[in-house]
Structure 1
Amino acid sequence: MSVVQAVKNYVNKMISESEPGYKIMLMDKETTSFVSLVLGMSEVMRQEVYMFERLDQTSSGENMSYLKCLVYVRPTQDNIRALCHELQKPRYGAYYIYFSNVVSKSDVKLLAEADEHEVVREVQELYADYQALSPHLFSLNMPIHSHGMKWGSGCLQRTVQGLAGVLFSLQLLPTIRYQNNSEMARSLAENIRQTIVTEGSLYTNVDTEGNSLLLILDRRDDPVTPLLHQWTYEAMVHELLGVNNGRVNLAHVPGVSDDLKEVVMSPTQDDFYARSMYLNYGEIGQTIKDLMEDYQKKLSKQQKVESINDMKHFVESYPQFKKMSGTVSKHVTVVGELSRLVGTLGLLGISECQQELVCGSDHSANLQRIYQLVTDVKVREADAVALVMLYALRHEGHPNNDVRGLIIALRKRNVGDDYLKLLSSLMDYGGARARQSDLFGTQAPQDVSAIKKRLFKGLKGVDNVYTQHKPLVLDTISEVAKGRLREGAYPYCGNPAPTASKPQNVVLFIIGGVTYEESAAIHQFNTNNPGMRVILGGSTVHNSTSFLASMEAAMDGLPRKTLRI
């Protein structure tokens, strides 16, 4: 059960089912990212795909009727209009049209009426309507999704389409559960259920009913995880450099060469990255060193070209050697920049404080350390504000809570009003009154197992002070695996299947976005629990910057009740 393989299969199906000969692929902005994340363009071109075009950027160019056109677009009204215009004045000899989701009969009729030259050979629905980032992780690439506690305009429909696409492409007919205190989760669950009923004929090889679960969660239940500095390679790249559709911009790196100003960081196109993305900061340095040593050994062998056979071997191995050279250059540059930023920004000290804050219980020590960092001019404004946000969430109900004092400290270092407003928004967005889970383990435990968990959690020792925190989603999926997910907190949508208590396949979807820390946790869970497979997805994949922007958009214009600043 892999979302990457599901999308790959659809793309290969499109290419293989058309007539032999050179083709072009006509896509929209979103489907371009769907394809590029799972297949390199060179890999697609090896299958007789000659050129790539964007439907929203086409202009009336030369007639190329000798080419066939593979159209892969989302079934939006803009795309339907653009396709009709394309078919009225066709530039290619034949069109094979594939929609990434269900398309209405009325839209198909519009295309048929526009096809006066009878160039359309095929119209099909595929269900690759999402970004497959790794085998167990998908995103709908929707950074902004809500306003207040309600769905933003068009966002519910897009989420239903994307999430239903995941279920259809994996042929999962799930029991559906949702976070009880989230009206958005409830409405999404109901719409997904209705879509499955309406489009039930799309299931051709469905898994046994009751073996699968769709669990819909809300980001508000865990606003902590997106605010923390993370130390896996994948998460560090996203937090410090930013990843956009599998690409990282390195143009700002001092002395970077032109060919490294933008690099691909996708596990489907970079074997080294796929092996290293879940390694922590300490491990990745040694792994890079090993990669360089291996490269140097092969380089020394390549330099000994003394015979015809040596030359033949060099020519045969050159493409692989060149690829390895590019891999080494890319990752040395990326890790070098990460290392520079960690040192320059003092992130080790900040992260240690964050971890002790959210995982420890010593309010006085936490407060003292935060004051030290907040008043340190070497600490970035964003990191200082994030520390105060974490403190406000962690010690919201503490009798000696000193959020106001920390705000005064932020004002003294001239932190902008936008950041201070975000602090107020955060408490309304994800404070204690907005959550249903015991995020910090501070509520009175209800049973013996919960008491033991709290008593002995701190006795096991901490292997790494920077990775003490475990995201809430890991506790949630562990409860699912044990068949102990509380129905009161996560009710069923419709009647539960009789075997749904311990499903074999789970799709976890987080309204408001996921993080790479949560992805790493689910990857580890899948590794440790081979009898159960979990797919994680969300509205988008957040780092701290995008999370705060998303929260700001959600709370914009709403009254702030929790914290007056």
Structure 2
Amino acid sequence: MDKAAPSKDSKKLEVDGHCDLSDAPVNLEALRDKNRAALRDIFRKIDSGTGESKAFILEQELVGLLGQIVEVDFLKNQGIEKFFFLSGEGLEIPSELSCVVFFIRFDLRNVRVLAKQVKMLRARNRSLWVIAIPRLPFVCERVLEEEQVIEDIQVLGLELYLIPYESDVLSMQVCTSYRDWMVEGDPSILYDVASGLMKLQMQCGIIPHIKGKGVASRQVANMLVQMRYQMPPEAFFRDLPEITQLVLLDRVVDPVTPLLTMLTYEGLIDEFFGIHDGCVKLSSEMVLTEQQIKTQTQQGVELPKKIKIMLNNQDAIFSEIRDLNFSRVGKLLSQKAKLIDEYYKKRHSSQTTHSLKSYVQQFSDYQKKHKYLHVHTNMVEKLLTWIRDSKFHAQLEAEQNLLAKDGNSELSISYLEDCICQREPLPRILRLLCLLSLCTGGLKEKTYNFFVKEIIQTYGIEHLFTLNNLGKMGLLCKYGETKPANWFSNARQMFNLIITDPDEQEPPDMASIYSGYSPLSAKIVMKACSDLDEKSASEDGLPDCGNDVITENWKSAKNNFIQNMPGGPTFCLNQKLDPSTMLAISERKQQEDRPHTVFVFFIGGITFAEISALRWIKKHRKINMIIGTTNFVNGNTLIECSFEKI
């Protein structure tokens, strides 16, 4: 339901669908349990003040995040009887529910909506509580004071930072993180990132080595050192550290990759359907079988317009195909269909008790696979109709032309002009315009002024703010404003980003993910991990215990080039550990030959295709890798966060 026109009725909350964390490189199940326990403690504080049945009002954008922590039954066990979405309209809350709990991530866009709701509810003699994620910011507190509602509510902070979305993926789900930092200049997201990483260290041990690139990443590293000295040593995990290295990367270090059209299966689902909090909403016809639709129609049951489908490792078929180039997916689904069909045929040939028992034991598993296969087959067919469209091919050709060493930017400029004349969606146009700017070292003055004029005349004067914001975000600039101007062409050569005629069926390189382009961000991460097996020792031959001093030295052959790339400083930090711990780490490595565990964190968002590239590195480098991010992005969402609501 659109937030601009919410219903006043109570909602049926859909928050179920956890991923399986049993095979995570570190104990992420404990992290989820701690998040759940923190929410339970909040409700205990509320119950000690009221002990009444509750109405629960939450932001619609937080439903998916909540679903990664708890189930609906958990919330009902806390005394919640009715659910509502936060809006500026009056809500029809039953009079017997004298306790109202708000669940909100505060910002200047929603604090006044909350104030309006409080004014409507306080006259009804209700106890009003606000669960603030992760806390109530000072500026929002001042707004509540100005609205004269601060005395009517009791605010409890809930420190939710890193939320497991997969056994190897954590997200904070702060969808405005890139804009908040780059446009608004709000550093609170950096404090939240540091706080989340500190909580992870308290559980998994102090991470010995930290590398990163970017202004934001450097500030986060500084905060980690400061936070650590403010806490007692016993607050941290006392066993050997579970994570070997942390790699921090600002989104602005590689602004090119998220603007490109993703070509993995999961990436295309996000491009066309949209993946939100680990799920996709599909039409009933794509999810239900013909027999199910017929039965419900005969029974007079109205089919839902959209059905939520979880996309995580609980779906065995999706887990296998999510990271593949889309060209490989159809063949694999056909193989799965054949295997499932062969299994069902066994029921006719099973004559012994043993064979019947084996068939029955696998029946539930194959039923699930059959259901998932039906959904994925329908999604693939729908995606095929989209990617076979001439507009999709024209967009893809324009992107690849800009990436190529001998690409002709004039062809892309001509294509952009045609798109504007046809009033194509503005995010599509701005994606390519920003890509043109980044790949050519900035737009010429004449070209820049031409497109500014065309966009304002076609899409409205308000997008003058959009273009200005894109400049602040490091996505759109004039020639000469970025130093060095030819940084991308140098990176393309230095990192061998482009491979002509990649083998998408048997991919030898991560470039197959983008049909010939290797994500620059993934290449930088690979270089950061290149010296993991080098023994770090001090001058006396003992293990280097670190000194908590941040330096600008990466032990990498391409360090000088990475250092001089736009996006901010390159840095390295060896956190100080006691000698016995470092010696134990060294001995464990020699005795057990354990693979290293690397935690890669993107500040400002990561695409699903980049996650696929990092999984490729994990597989071929034979290391364990956990991927963290402030939020998930694609080209459209990255561009749309620059829009101003006027």
Shorter-chain TM range is 0.5 to 0.7
Q: C-alpha distance in 2, partners of 1:309/1:495?
A: 58
Q: C-alpha distance in 2, partners of 1:411/1:75?
A: 33
> Cα distance, 1:344 vs. partner?
3.6
Q: C-alpha distance in 2, partners of 1:337/1:237?
A: 10
Partner-residue secondary structure (3-state), 1:262: strand
- The aligned residue for residue 148 of structure 2 is none
Partner-residue secondary structure (3-state), 2:207: coil
- The aligned residue for residue 237 of structure 1 is 269
Aligned length: 487
Q: C-alpha distance in 2, partners of 1:191/1:545?
A: 32
> Cα distance, 1:541 vs. partner?
0.4
Q: C-alpha distance in 1, partners of 2:350/2:206?
A: 55
Q: C-alpha distance in 2, partners of 1:302/1:34?
A: 42
Question: Which of the residues 300, 307, 327 maps onto 1:282?
Answer: 327
Question: Which of the residues 506, 525, 528 maps onto 1:480?
Answer: 528
Opposite residue 427 of structure 1, the aligned amino acid is G
> Cα distance, 1:278 vs. partner?
0.3
Partner-residue secondary structure (3-state), 1:216: strand
> Cα distance, 1:232 vs. partner?
0.8
Answering whether residue 637 of structure 2 is matched by residue 546 of structure 1, we say yes
1:254–1:188 distance in 2 versus 1, CA, 3 Å? same
Partner-residue secondary structure (3-state), 1:346: helix
- The aligned residue for residue 393 of structure 2 is 348
Answering whether residue 383 of structure 2 is matched by residue 372 of structure 1, we say no
1:347–1:265 distance in 2 versus 1, CA, 3 Å? farther
- The aligned residue for residue 335 of structure 1 is 380
> Cα distance, 1:102 vs. partner?
11
Q: C-alpha distance in 2, partners of 1:51/1:323?
A: 33
Opposite residue 517 of structure 1, the aligned amino acid is A
Opposite residue 239 of structure 1, the aligned amino acid is E
- The aligned residue for residue 511 of structure 1 is 603
Could you list the per-position Cα deviations for residues 366-415 of structure 1 after superposition, in whole angstroms to 9, with x for gaps in the alignment? 32244136415779433333222211221135779844455566678x34
Partner-residue secondary structure (3-state), 2:337: helix
1:36–1:101 distance in 2 versus 1, CA, 3 Å? same
Contact 1:214–1:506 (CA<8 Å) still a contact in 2? yes
TM-score normalised by the chain length of structure 1: 0.67
- The aligned residue for residue 471 of structure 1 is 519
Answering whether residue 202 of structure 2 is matched by residue 202 of structure 1, we say no
Partner-residue secondary structure (3-state), 1:242: coil
Contact 2:428–2:636 (CA<8 Å) still a contact in 1? no
Q: C-alpha distance in 1, partners of 2:409/2:598?
A: 37
- The aligned residue for residue 113 of structure 1 is none
Q: Which moved more, 1:260-269 or 1:382-391?
A: 260-269
- The aligned residue for residue 388 of structure 1 is 433
Answering whether residue 433 of structure 2 is matched by residue 426 of structure 1, we say no
Could you list the per-position Cα deviations for residues 341-378 of structure 1 after superposition, in whole angstroms to 9, with x for gaps in the alignment? 223463233223212312x1335x23224413641577
Could you list the per-position Cα deviations for residues 443-494 of structure 1 after superposition, in whole angstroms to 9, with x for gaps in the alignment? 899xxxx5xx66xx76875446852222222222222123435496323468
- The aligned residue for residue 142 of structure 1 is 174
Q: C-alpha distance in 2, partners of 1:438/1:506?
A: 31
- Structural mapping, 1:5-154, within 5 Å: 5-7=29-31, 10=34, 33=64, 36-37=67-68, 129-145=161-177, 146=180, 148=182, 151-152=185-186, 154=188
> Cα distance, 1:526 vs. partner?
0.9
Question: Which of the residues 177, 192, 216 maps onto 1:158?
Answer: 192
Partner-residue secondary structure (3-state), 1:506: strand
Q: C-alpha distance in 2, partners of 1:317/1:396?
A: 57
Q: C-alpha distance in 1, partners of 2:187/2:444?
A: 41
1:9–1:268 distance in 2 versus 1, CA, 3 Å? farther
Q: C-alpha distance in 1, partners of 2:499/2:320?
A: 32
Could you list the per-position Cα deviations for residues 199-248 of structure 1 after superposition, in whole angstroms to 9, with x for gaps in the alignment? 45332244359x73333322122222221111111111112111111121
Answering whether residue 205 of structure 2 is matched by residue 171 of structure 1, we say yes
Q: C-alpha distance in 2, partners of 1:147/1:271?
A: 37
Contact 2:441–2:487 (CA<8 Å) still a contact in 1? no
Q: C-alpha distance in 2, partners of 1:51/1:313?
A: 44
Answering whether residue 571 of structure 2 is matched by residue 526 of structure 1, we say no
1:270–1:294 distance in 2 versus 1, CA, 3 Å? same
Question: Which of the residues 210, 213, 238 maps onto 2:245?
Answer: 213
- The aligned residue for residue 295 of structure 1 is 340
Q: C-alpha distance in 1, partners of 2:368/2:78?
A: 22
Opposite residue 362 of structure 1, the aligned amino acid is D
Q: C-alpha distance in 1, partners of 2:451/2:97?
A: 64
> Cα distance, 1:519 vs. partner?
0.8
Could you list the per-position Cα deviations for residues 68-126 of structure 1 after superposition, in whole angstroms to 9, with x for gaps in the alignment? xxx9x9999x9xxx9xxxxxx99xxxxxxxx99999xxxxxxxxxxxxxxxxxxxxx99
1:504–1:297 distance in 2 versus 1, CA, 3 Å? closer
Contact 1:357–1:390 (CA<8 Å) still a contact in 2? yes
Could you list the per-position Cα deviations for residues 293-351 of structure 1 after superposition, in whole angstroms to 9, with x for gaps in the alignment? 33333445558999999999887665434423321222122222222222346323322
> Cα distance, 1:292 vs. partner?
2.6
TM-score normalised by the chain length of structure 2: 0.60
Opposite residue 207 of structure 2, the aligned amino acid is L
Opposite residue 321 of structure 2, the aligned amino acid is S
Contact 1:74–1:101 (CA<8 Å) still a contact in 2? no
Q: C-alpha distance in 2, partners of 1:27/1:494?
A: 44
